[in-house]
Amino acid sequence: MIQIENLHFAYPGSNGALLNVANLRVAPGEKVMLRGPSGSGKSTLLNLMAGILKPQSGRVCVCGEELVPMSESAARDFRANRIGFIFQDFALLEYLTVADNILLPYRINQSLTLNTDVHARAQRLLNDLSIAHKSAAFPTRLSFGERQRVAIARAMIASPQLILADEPTANLDKANALKTIELIVSSAAHNKAGLVVVSHDESLDTYFDRVVDMAQYKHA
């Protein structure tokens, strides 16, 4: 599902490579955590997997597609069709209802076609995540947990092959962190999607097939 080889990445103006990844593979359906402290490159690697960032050199192959040679528009279409991204701050649009936030990928990506099947899938997600009664509400009227569920539903709406989650438990207490991870893991499993989550929280390790320590890739 993910194959990264001989990757070197540095932000413009930085002194030397931020990340050096000789080889990293994630199998289809595998649940992987990228773990490391703040500044270890976890979110950067996640963005490289999504084709949001591109390395200075190396190979990034996701779902059978080479991301590095892709144009920006092709990478955007690829993400829309193959990847569900759960942002740390949820990135919900306050002026859209819950239902419209979930359907947003279909409103802004021409590569996705909004039809009755998609509307039915959105309704199933609303039911599965216990937020159907909030479908007409705006994000400002939602609890933190409800906003979180909307973000998860939006990531799942296009039936992606891969789910990427950026620090989804940051700033949560232990009980809510566990609930969040359980929800993301079960949603990915239900959709038969691979899952890569970035976190520094060692208490979440048991939910994953494998934990990747970012220390091996971080270089000053």
Q: What is the pLDDT of residue 177?
A: 82
How far apart CA 91 and CA 105 sit, in angstroms, is 12
Q: What is the pLDDT of residue 24?
A: 95
Burial class (CB within 10 angstroms; exposed 0-12, middle 13-18, buried 19+) of 210 = exposed
Structure tokens at 51: 């084709």
Identify the band that residue 220 occupies on the pLDDT scale cut at 50, 70 and 90.
very low
Are 80 and 113 contacting, i.e. CB atoms less than 8 angstroms apart?
Answer: no
How far apart CA 184 and CA 207 sit, in angstroms, is 10
How far apart CA 61 and CA 41 sit, in angstroms, is 19
Answer yes or no: is pLDDT of 18 > 80.
yes
List the domains of the chain with CATH numbers.
2-216 (3.40.50.300)
Q: What is the average pLDDT across 187-206?
A: 89
Q: What is the average pLDDT across 23-49?
A: 92
How far apart CA 56 and CA 9 sit, in angstroms, is 5
Answer yes or no: is pLDDT of 205 > 70.
yes
pLDDT digits (tens, 9 = 90+) for 44-103: 999 999 999 999 999 999 999 999 999 999 999 999 999 999 988 889 999 999 999 999
* Secondary structure class of 9 (helix, strand, coil): strand
Provide the residue count of the chain: 220
Q: What is the pLDDT of residue 219?
A: 61
Helix 98-108 vs helix 116-128: crossing angle, to nearest 10: 140
Backbone angles phi, psi at 83, to 5 degrees: -125, 135
Q: What is the average pLDDT across 110-125?
A: 94
| This prediction's pTM | 0.90
